[in-house]
Structure 1
Amino acid sequence: MKLHTTMIAALAASTLCTGGAMACETTLRSADTHPDGYPTVEAVKYMGKQLEEKTGGRLCVEVFPSSQLGEEKDSIEQTQFGVIDMVRSSLGPFNNMIPETRVVSLPYIFRSEEHMHHVVDGPIGKEIAAAFVPNDLVVLAYYDGGARSFYNSKRPVMSIEDLKGLKFRVMQSDVFVDMMDALGANATPMPYGEVYSSIQTGVIDGAENNFPSYDSSGHAEVAKYYTNDQHLIMPEVLAMSKITFDKLSPEDQAAVREAAKASVPVMRDLWTKQVAASLEKVKAAGAEVITDVDKQPYIDAMAPLYAKYADTPELKDLVKRIQDTQ
């Protein structure tokens, strides 16, 4: 039923899209939860233009933003089945199926966005990508997920003590649930698309995300207090269905990879500009942004998570290699 429903949704959504992609021999459908114009959406559109040029119009990409093809968990599953060809997703939903993604999802594993770039652009990024293949996914690119921080509708969070008792939406991942427990808050896993109404109705007090998402989702309208603790600096992935990828010729596979790689600097440039613009926009709208944050108590509270999720010699080594990357 879920497969059938997703196929109907894809067909319905395609009537909303226009452009050259519809005239291509093969149109690859790419899902994203973010709205049209968001850096990840625009980066995949750029990839599509590059791919169309490289293949002389044989391959194009049609992007379905705003969860038209389902929330992340569902769109990931449909990409694994080959119903959707590509998906842009946070790494959180992969944590329970790919252990390596749990390590790069650990709070404060990255010192900065530059540090994260150096890690995913190098051998470690290739190692993590290889772990997706047994799950019928081919990682094409790492995008920026930004620095995620807490926001809520109740009170300014000036210290770790202020988090206690608050109910926060988190991604559907055990790592995120345990992070909130370690901080004394209450975790409520739920799809991204349900967050606005859940804050508005008091089901949850807040969530955690980066400035562009806080802005574009409208969450700043219902949760005015944003604490820039930057507990997570997470890469995101653009992944292709292995079923789709394996149907392509070696030449077209190479073209897909090259086009995706070319989209990464475009995404990062758009991201930097979007962060600055979103920060100014939410401030102008009345959000209180707290920047004077003592991170050390937060970092200290994460020790149990590192012990739990880097629980094999291989994962402990991965943590060390990430931390040692300059």
Structure 2
Amino acid sequence: MSIFRKVTATIALATMLAGAATAVSAQETLLRSSDTHPDGYPTVEAVKYMGELVKERTDGRIGIEVYHSAQLGEEKDTIEQTQFGVIDLNRVSMGPFNNIVEETQVVSLPYIFRSIDHMHKVMDGPIGDEILAAFEPHDLIGLAYYDGGARSFYNSEKPIKSMDDLKGLKFRVMQSDIFVDMVNALGGNATPMPYGEVYSSIQTGVIEGAENNWPSFESSKHFEVAKHYTLDEHLIVPEVLVMSKKSWEKLSPEDQEIVRTAAKESVTKMRELWQAREAESEKMVREAGVEVVKDIDKQPFIDAMKPVYEKYVTNDKLKDLVARIQATE
């Protein structure tokens, strides 16, 4: 996006949100929150729940309005708007932050987490807090982590049962260098593109597939054009809820604590919704006739990630972070 287009988009978005804010006269502060996922998705509902807690604990002084379905733009652009203070809160996948917050690269590494439980233990503890703190120098306040499930490959051409089956296939990835290198290391052709363009790109043959979790595969309707899904679970990447530092600093210390606590409490709600949604999405996808490959030897995939780790884990701080994550039981 050119500088001119960025400025124009910022002005247009600011005007729209200012209009929305003035429409809510009962609240002194209305926080605008962005999410690329559709209404009803676990992350969207978790931020709504957070808003209920904040409204109750501030006697209605602060509210949260969730703009779902990428109404405020795709993730990369909404990050910039959040840094500018045009958007107050933002639920974003970790990948788009990889080129902004160095520490997020580690938790975005393929197979860095052994399981969902392992990811929870790491991100709910001091390591997770350390990474949240790393957002502040980039004009963002890290509030909480949501689940993103396990991401796996799907495509329109054939079932993937080994690395050989990936060769030559074009896969959409998030706009993250790590994800590009991951797919390329596995023998595929990585194609970064916004989430909203994936369906039509698979449908028209621009790409053969993508990679994501059960709920995203289902809610995006990608299963309609990609009938082969392989549970290689190459990524278990948490998602993050951040707040604009500019918006944060407008709050009193007491209200900051209310917002932070409500964000943390919304995590439990999100995980409950996520588990239910995963089961529902899997059922819907299987009933739609998608071929699901479950039993796959992951070790060759893991071994192929060595050059990716060597490229991105380049300093003592990141090496220590990897070691501590791997040592977490």
Q: Same fold (TM over 0.5)?
A: yes
Q: Could you tell me which of 122, 129, 132 is aligned with 1:119?
A: 122
Separation in 2 of the partners of 1:119 and 1:3? 38
1:176 aligns with 2:179: yes
Tell me the CA shift for residue 249 of structure 1. 0.3
With over 3 angstroms needed to count, the CA separation of the structure-2 counterparts of 1:22 and 1:284, relative to structure 1, is farther
Tell me the CA shift for residue 98 of structure 1. 1.4
1:187 aligns with 2:212: no
Match of 1:82 in 2: 85
1:129 aligns with 2:94: no
Deviations 1:278-318 (A, max 9, x none): 00001111111110111000000001111111111111111
1:2 aligns with 2:6: yes
Match of 1:305 in 2: 308
With over 3 angstroms needed to count, the CA separation of the structure-2 counterparts of 1:13 and 1:28, relative to structure 1, is closer
Tell me the CA shift for residue 7 of structure 1. 4.6
Deviations 1:147-177 (A, max 9, x none): 0000000000011110000000001111001
Separation in 1 of the partners of 2:8 and 2:82? 14
**What count of residue pairs does the alignment treat as equivalent?**
324
Separation in 1 of the partners of 2:250 and 2:27? 16
Match of 2:244 in 1: 241
Separation in 2 of the partners of 1:183 and 1:278? 27
Separation in 1 of the partners of 2:24 and 2:241? 19
Separation in 2 of the partners of 1:9 and 1:243? 16
Separation in 2 of the partners of 1:6 and 1:294? 47
Separation in 1 of the partners of 2:101 and 2:263? 22
C-alpha contact (below 8 Å) 1:10/1:68 kept by paired residues: no
Match of 2:222 in 1: 219
Deviations 1:195-219 (A, max 9, x none): 0110011000000000000000010
SS at match of 1:23: coil
Match of 1:97 in 2: 100
C-alpha contact (below 8 Å) 1:6/1:69 kept by paired residues: no
Separation in 2 of the partners of 1:25 and 1:169? 42
Tell me the CA shift for residue 6 of structure 1. 4.2
Write the letter of the residue equivalent to 1:8: A
Q: Could you tell me which of 138, 141, 145 is aligned with 1:142?
A: 145
% identical equivalent positions: 66
TM-score by length of structure 1 reads: 0.96
With over 3 angstroms needed to count, the CA separation of the structure-2 counterparts of 1:152 and 1:13, relative to structure 1, is farther
C-alpha contact (below 8 Å) 1:153/1:224 kept by paired residues: yes
Write the letter of the residue equivalent to 1:71: E
Write the letter of the residue equivalent to 1:199: I
Deviations 1:86-111 (A, max 9, x none): 11000100111211111100000000
Write the letter of the residue equivalent to 1:253: Q
The CA RMSD over aligned residues, in Å, is 1.6
Write the letter of the residue equivalent to 2:9: T
Separation in 1 of the partners of 2:128 and 2:182? 24
Tell me the CA shift for residue 10 of structure 1. 6.2
SS at match of 1:145: coil
Match of 2:69 in 1: 66
Structure 1 runs (4+) deviating above 6 angstroms are none
Separation in 2 of the partners of 1:135 and 1:315? 18
Separation in 2 of the partners of 1:100 and 1:64? 28
1:158 aligns with 2:161: yes
Separation in 2 of the partners of 1:153 and 1:56? 51
Deviations 1:7-38 (A, max 9, x none): 534655898x89x9663211000000000000
Deviations 1:252-281 (A, max 9, x none): 000000111110000001000000000000
Separation in 2 of the partners of 1:124 and 1:161? 36
Deviations 1:100-153 (A, max 9, x none): 111100000000111101111101011111110000000111000110000000
Structure 1 residue runs without a partner (length 5+): none
